[in-house]
Structure 1
Amino acid sequence: MSSHFRVGVFVDAENVRYNGGYQMRYDVLRRFAAREGGILQRLNTYMAFDAERAREDIDYRKKAQTYQQMVRDFGWKITVKLVRRYTDEAGNVTTKANADLDMAVDAMLQAQKLDQVLLVTGDGDFLQVVEALQNTGCRVELMGFKNVSRQLQQQVDAYYSGFLIPDLLPVSYEPRNEWGKPGSCVRGVCTKWFADKGYGFLRIMTVISPNLWITDPRESDSPYASVFCHANELAEDVNEDLLANRETVLEFYVNESDQKDNGLVANNVRLAFTVNR
C-alpha cells in the first residue's frame, strides 16, 4: 500500500451507541482504519451532548466530558451536537441530536483529499453519500453493529460487522479478556455445520490485518482461525437455521484442542446477534 494512501473515518456515534456499539473503543477503531498502512487524514466522530441535563446532573456532565477527552486523546476530532427537545400537542417530549447532515457534508467536502472512507453507521440515509463518494474515486467501507441498512451494505465496497473486530467491543464480564488466546471470549460466525454429525466449524478474526479478504483460515497469511464446535456446546436458542445464516454472530470461549495440535475448540456458544432473512 502506498505511503500516500489517505484514509478518512466518519463515526455516527449516536447511531452506533443505540445499535449495539456502546463502549466501542476508538483506539481499536483507529487501528482498524489504519490496517493497510495508509495515512489517517481525517478522524471525525459526531456525538450528542445534553446541555440541559448537564446543568442539573453533575455526574452526567463529568462522564461526558471525560469520555470526550479520552476520544480526543486518541486523535479524533469531535463534533458535538446539542440535544434538542420537542413537545407535541399532547405534551409528550422527545429529544433529538441528529448529526447526519454534518457528517454527510464533512465527508463530501473532505473526500477530494481522501482515497478511502470508512463510515461507521447503520443509517440508510447515507446511501446517496456513499454513491457520491464512490463517484469521486474514493473506496468506501462500512462498519456497523445492529440495524444496518441492507442497501447500504450492498452499495459500499466492503462491509464489516463491528461485533467481529478483535477487542473493538469489550466483553463486560471479562475485563481482562485477551481476544483469541486460550480461555478468552470471542465473537465469530459459523462457516460449516454438519447436523447429522453434531458438529461444525466457527470462524473468528484473530488479529486486525490488511489481509481481511483472505477468509480461508488454511492460508498461512489469513487473519482468521477455524474453531471446532460440538453441538453439546450450543445454547438452546442456537439452532441450525441460525448457524446457516452468516449474519448470525456467536459469542463463545475458545480453548486449545486436546486432540489436534494448535487446534481450537469452542465452549459455551451463545447467540450474540442475528439478522432475520
Structure 2
Amino acid sequence: MTEIHDGQRVAVLADSQNLYHSAQSVYSRNIDYSSLLDKAVQNRVLTRAIAYVIRADSPDEESFFEALRDIGFETKIKEIKTFGDGSKKADWDLGLSLDAVSLADHVDTVVLCSGDGDFSRLCSHLRHEGVRVEVLGFESSTATELIEAADSFVDMGEREETFLL
C-alpha cells in the first residue's frame, strides 16, 4: 500500500452534502473548505480537487459554489429532484465513485471527505488497486465500515478550529 511520501499525487473528493449535514447537525457550523483542502493535501501534489454539490435554489448557493472554485475545487453540480409526493433526492454517490475509479491510475492517494458508509466498497476497491485511501469526516456521523475500509481516518470533530467556520 502506498504510504505518504514527497511528490505523492493526491485527489481530494468532497461529498459536500454529507459534510454540510454533519457539520450542521452536530455543530451548527459550516465547513472551512480552504482548511479542508490544505489538510487533505498535506504538502503533497494535488492532482485534482472536486466538490460534489447540489443545486437546491437557496439564496447563497451560487456564491458558495464560486467560493469553492476560488479555493481550488472543481465543482460538480447536480440539480435536486422533487418527486410527486414532495420528497426530494440528490446524491453524488455514483458520480463520485466513478470519478475515484477513473482517477485511480493517475494518483497515489484519494482523500475522501465524507462519512457515507456507501463508500466503504469504493475504498476497498481503490486499496486493492494500490491506491492509498484517506477519509476525512466527523467520527460521530461517519459509518464504522467506512473508517475500517480506509488506510487512515481523520476525525474532523477533534479539530473543530481547523475544519469548521
* TM-score normalized by the length of structure 1: 0.54
What SS class does the counterpart of residue 143 from structure 1 fall into? strand
Matched, 1:121 2:114: yes
Q: Give the length in aligned residue pairs.
A: 156
The 8 Å contact of residues 15 and 51 in structure 2, kept in 1 or not, is answered as: yes
Once the two structures are superposed, residues 219-270 of structure 1 have per-residue CA deviations (whole angstroms, 9 ceiling, x without a partner) of xxxxxxxxxxxxxxxxxxxxxxxxxxxxxxxxxxxxxxxxxxxxxxxxxxxx
- The answer for the alignment partner of 2:17 in structure 1 is 14
C-alpha separation in 2, matches of 1:147 and 1:94:
23
Which one of 131, 136, 152 corresponds to residue 129 of structure 2? 136
Return the offset for 1:4.
Answer: 2.5
What SS class does the counterpart of residue 93 from structure 1 fall into? coil
Relative to its length, the structure with more helix (as a share) is: 2
Which one of 75, 80, 86 corresponds to residue 77 of structure 2? 80
Matched, 1:71 2:86: no
Return the offset for 1:116.
Answer: 0.9
Give the counterpart letter for 1:127 in structure 2. S
The 8 Å contact of residues 51 and 68 in structure 2, kept in 1 or not, is answered as: no
- The answer for the alignment partner of 2:156 in structure 1 is 162
Return the offset for 1:120.
Answer: 0.9
Give the counterpart letter for 1:45 in structure 2. A
Return the offset for 1:117.
Answer: 1.1
The 8 Å contact of residues 101 and 126 in structure 2, kept in 1 or not, is answered as: yes
Once the two structures are superposed, residues 35-55 of structure 1 have per-residue CA deviations (whole angstroms, 9 ceiling, x without a partner) of 2x21011101100102xxx3x
Return the offset for 1:168.
Answer: 1.0
Which one of 45, 50, 66 corresponds to residue 51 of structure 2? 45
Once the two structures are superposed, residues 64-111 of structure 1 have per-residue CA deviations (whole angstroms, 9 ceiling, x without a partner) of 111111110011000001000112xxxx31111111000000000011
Which one of 33, 40, 44 corresponds to residue 26 of structure 1? 33
Give the counterpart letter for 2:22 in structure 1. N
Q: Which has the larger radius of gyration?
A: 1
Return the offset for 1:122.
Answer: 1.1
Give the counterpart letter for 1:81 in structure 2. K
Unpaired runs of at least 5, structure 2: none
Unpaired runs of at least 5, structure 1: 55-59, 171-277
Relative to its length, the structure with more strand (as a share) is: 1
C-alpha separation in 2, matches of 1:3 and 1:153:
25
C-alpha separation in 1, matches of 2:6 and 2:152:
21
- The answer for the alignment partner of 1:251 in structure 2 is none
The 8 Å contact of residues 97 and 122 in structure 2, kept in 1 or not, is answered as: yes
Give the counterpart letter for 2:19 in structure 1. V
Give the counterpart letter for 1:38 in structure 2. R
Backbone CA RMSD of aligned residues? 1.5
Once the two structures are superposed, residues 169-224 of structure 1 have per-residue CA deviations (whole angstroms, 9 ceiling, x without a partner) of 12xxxxxxxxxxxxxxxxxxxxxxxxxxxxxxxxxxxxxxxxxxxxxxxxxxxxxx
